[in-house]
Amino acid sequence: MKALLLDIGNSRLKWGVLGKDRINRTGHVSQSAIQEHGFAALTSKLPRDVDTVLACNVAGAQQATRIARAIASHCGCGVKFVRSESQACGVTNSYRQPWRMGVDRWVAMIAARAACDTSSIVVDAGTAITIDALDDDGKHLGGQIMPGITLMSEALARHTSDIPQVRKRLSGHGLGIFANSTAAAVAHGILGAAVAAVERATRVMREDGYDPTVILTGGDAAYLFGSIDEQALHYPHLVLQGLQRILECRGESSS
């Protein structure tokens, strides 16, 4: 069986092709490109000969419907959308109403649990930055959500008169985190806020007796990876790997 995996985010749509028990093709397209050029911007990159399509969507119900129609027309099969559950694939959800958890966080934790069977901190640095903690048994201890790096920059530019919006990403250690221009100061300050949140989460877990592995994913994960003082693992396709794991748990893994 060949499976098409879709990670539908607010800024980008990532895809992967699962065959012979591994994701052997990946790619992405921005949501803005889809809006400008139509779904051909996506489907022109995708194979037609797939047996199943599994998707994780946080871009809203309308976009999910549009993408499902485009994929069905292109591949000839429907799209199955994953939902957050109370328990799956060795992970236990801490939410009283599990379906209220962002499904991208849920799928990322499933992938993290498959990669690391001890406690972990799962960081998805995308449009928003999410930080989720798993204990040694795969139980979700809870999480945090904060604006992503671009959103923080946009907020500063929108609500001040003299601070520009900064798109450049900077990383650094030691005294290199102190900038000598406004643009660099914004870039380092925003990154520092994200890094501090991850390092604080790690410290708190250690103070409670855990030894968590930090797992990073998302479009800005590379900048955090180069700046945090903690040992970390970087999985660019963590949500796609989580979708693969869900198929395996359902007995639908490829062969």
- pTM of the predicted model, to two decimals? 0.93
Distance CA 143, CA 64 (A): 25
From residue 193, give the alpha-carbon distance in Å to each of 47, 134, 175: 40, 22, 16
In the chain, pLDDT over 90 holds for what percent of residues? 85
The SS3 of residue 27 is strand
Please calculate the CA angle 7-107-171 and round it to the nearest 5 degrees.
70
Mean pLDDT of the chain: 94
> Considering only the top CATH level, what class is 3-81?
alpha beta
pLDDT at 253: 63
* Phi and psi based region of residue 148 (left: phi greater than 0; alpha: psi -120 to 50; beta: remaining): beta
Distance CA 116, CA 198 (A): 18
Mean pLDDT throughout 70-82? 95
Respond yes or no: is residue 104 known to be catalytic.
yes
- Structure tokens of 137? 């048994």
pLDDT in tens, 94-117: 999 999 999 999 999 999 999 999
Superfamily (CATH H level) for 87-242:
ATPase, nucleotide binding domain (3.30.420.40)
pLDDT at 137: 98
Q: What is the DSSP string of 152-218?
A: HHHHHHHH-SSPPP--------GGGGS-SSHHHHHHHHHHHHHHHHHHHHHHHHHHTT--PEEEEES
Mean pLDDT throughout 43-49? 94
* Phi and psi based region of residue 55 (left: phi greater than 0; alpha: psi -120 to 50; beta: remaining): beta
Beta bridge partners of 133: 121, 142
Q: Looking at the chain, which runs of residues are DSSP E strands?
A: 3-8, 12-19, 22-30, 52-57, 79-81, 87-88, 91-92, 120-125, 128-134, 140-147, 213-217, 232-234
Instruction: Given the residues 104, 124, 132, 220, select the one marked as catalytic.
Output: 104
pLDDT at 1: 82
The residue ranges of every structural domain in the chain are: 3-81, 87-242
Mean pLDDT throughout 74-89? 96
pLDDT in tens, 191-240: 999 999 999 999 999 999 999 999 999 999 998 998 888 889 999 999 99
pLDDT in tens, 116-137: 999 999 999 999 999 999 999 9
The span from the first CA to the last CA of the chain, in angstroms, equals: 6
- Judge whether 3-81 and 87-242 match in fold: yes
Q: Is the pLDDT of residue 61 over 50?
A: yes
Task: Look at residues 103, 20, 27 and name the one whose alpha carbon lies nearest to residue 58.
Answer: 103
